[in-house]
Amino acid sequence: MRTSGILLPITALPSPYGIGTMGRSAYEFVDFLAESGQTYWQILPLGPTGYGDSPYQSFSTFAGNPYLIDLEQLIEEGLLTQEECEQFVYGEDPQQIDYGRLYGCRLRVLRIAFMRARREEDEAYGLYLQQNADWLPDYALFRAVKDHFKGKFWQEWERDIRLRTPEGISQYQTLLQEEIEFYCFLEYMFFKQYVKLKTYANKKGVQILGDLPIYVAIDSADAWAQPELFYFDEELTPVKVAGVPPDAFSETGQLWGNPLYDWAVHQKTGYHWWIRRVQHSMKLYDRIRIDHFRGFDEYYAIPYGEETALAGQWEKGPGYELFAALQQALGDIPIVAEDLGILTPSVYALLEKTGYPGMKVLQFAFEGGAMNDYLPYRHTRNSVVYTGTHDNDTLRGWLEHMHPGLKTHVMDFLGMKEEAEWNQTLIRTALMSAADTAIIPLQDYLELGSEARINEPATLGNNWRWRLCANWQEPSLACRIRHMTELYGRC
């Protein structure tokens, strides 16, 4: 079945309180997707963001980001007032997320709702606590202790709680009881609003294509609560961390800094943690994109303390055994493999054995000669084609920064006469691809420039901030997208 969708982070939606939420704009975007004939809304990871505000560096692989909780719904429920929500300035620029301001005020507003809620009378809240007892207590304690130590990295906490001694756990559970419940309640509010939104989308015929990062953040409840799953020494200091070698994005490689899995330990447990993780994701998403698929075949290990990724080396990952365990436990899982980058024959073999569709990105197609797998005529049905991903520039920005020789080649290849045809031609090329699924970032439909780029890998400071303006939707846009979707058999 040929389908298509649009990529847009929830955080990029317009809202009056500084960041996109699961509120009115999200429902309006679902309506837009349905009207446009789209099958998928692709989003980025939903976890609470940590270092660098990246959704790929989350405080938990299981938790939801409290910034996404819609305040207007809490007003309707009587948990907040309009005046309480408007007492803070969440940012000066409506098209840029100001994470510093959000950090200073968003949880203060949500705390008012927490104090006002009648939690002991809410049966659904009690049921949520029971159903998520395998991760929520550790996460809530982690966040409460982190606040207690003024946001410090958990490896800088006092020794008893850093090493999770029984005395340390008991002490802080008693000391921070209310804070722990506050973070539990935030997750309940997030989950309730998210399920409501996803149910609405599914009824409209729109499925959520979610994103599962291969790694967890080093400063996360996952690493702190289960350090035995990672390469840590006896003092819980990392031995080696994740990244990738030099590539098109960086001459010194990318030093991500995530702790690496001790795959031998995971193997002994029958990959129990991974099964829990994917099972949890299946509750949130209709289809799952697994990030950095190559890392399951071979992963790049960088000695802890290095300032660049140059000193790393490739080591063997779990391979097909992990995916066999997932399938045995959970059945067929609708996974998309992010197989970008320099791939080896063993990665291709792993992808073929799993049967998962890989990704074809048009921005990578026009260099490297006629055998480049991203070229439109080399696409296979079992794949997902993109004009670009969240890590790419927009199509317009790509054009504006492109070498003149490459620009001439792309225009000649696609039969373009004028640069004004750039976005529409590349979008049509993706939609007419043989790939079963086509995903287009909304910025490309809107023909926005580099100011609308989501992320530039190997950089810090200006990523994950872009937002739509409040009046982004042109009256004819949905009709034009639907026409192309029908024209190329994807509706």
Rounded Cα distance between 65 and 490, Å, is: 32
pLDDT at 247: 76
Kindly state the DSSP code that residue 22 receives in the 8-state scheme: S
Q: How confident is the model at residue 475 (pLDDT cuts 50, 70, 90)?
A: confident
User: From start to end of 174-297, where are the E strands?
Assistant: 207-212, 240-244, 254-259, 287-290
Tokens 């702790």: give the residue. 259
Average pLDDT for 367-393 = 96
Rounded Cα distance between 344 and 296, Å, is: 12
Q: Are 362 and 387 in contact (CB under 8 A)?
A: yes
Other C-beta atoms closer than 10 Å to the C-beta of 446 total 17
pLDDT at 251: 86
Q: Is residue 287's pLDDT more than 80? A: yes
pLDDT at 246: 86
Q: Which of 138, 179, 211, 291 is catalytic?
A: 291
Q: Which of 338, 393, 436, 444 is catalytic?
A: 338
Rounded Cα distance between 357 and 293, Å, is: 11
pLDDT at 407: 97
Kindly state the DSSP code that residue 318 receives in the 8-state scheme: -
Report percent pLDDT > 90 for the chain.
Answer: 94
pLDDT at 457: 87
φ, ψ at 314 (rounded to 5°) = -80, 135
pLDDT at 458: 78
Rounded Cα distance between 4 and 445, Å, is: 13
Q: Is residue 385's pLDDT more than 80? A: yes
Q: For 313-328, how does the pLDDT look when each residue is reduced to its tens digit (9 = 90+)?
A: 999 999 999 999 999 9
pLDDT at 237: 92
Q: For 425-459, how does the pLDDT look when each residue is reduced to its tens digit (9 = 90+)?
A: 999 999 999 999 999 999 999 999 999 999 998 78
Q: Which of 391, 400, 447, 456 is catalytic?
A: 391
Q: Are 208 and 284 in contact (CB under 8 A)?
A: yes
pLDDT at 52: 85
Name the strands in the sheet holding 313-316, side by side, starting at the edge strand that comes first in the sequence: 254-259, 240-244, 298-303, 313-316
Average pLDDT for 381-404 = 97
Q: For 129-139, how does the pLDDT look when each residue is reduced to its tens digit (9 = 90+)?
A: 999 999 999 99
Active site residue 373: no
Other C-beta atoms closer than 10 Å to the C-beta of 311 total 14
The mean pLDDT of the chain is: 96
Average pLDDT for 173-189 = 98
What is the value of pTM for the model shown? 0.96
Q: Is residue 203's pLDDT more than 90? A: yes
Q: For 59-81, how does the pLDDT look when each residue is reduced to its tens digit (9 = 90+)?
A: 999 999 999 999 999 999 999 99
Active site residue 338: yes
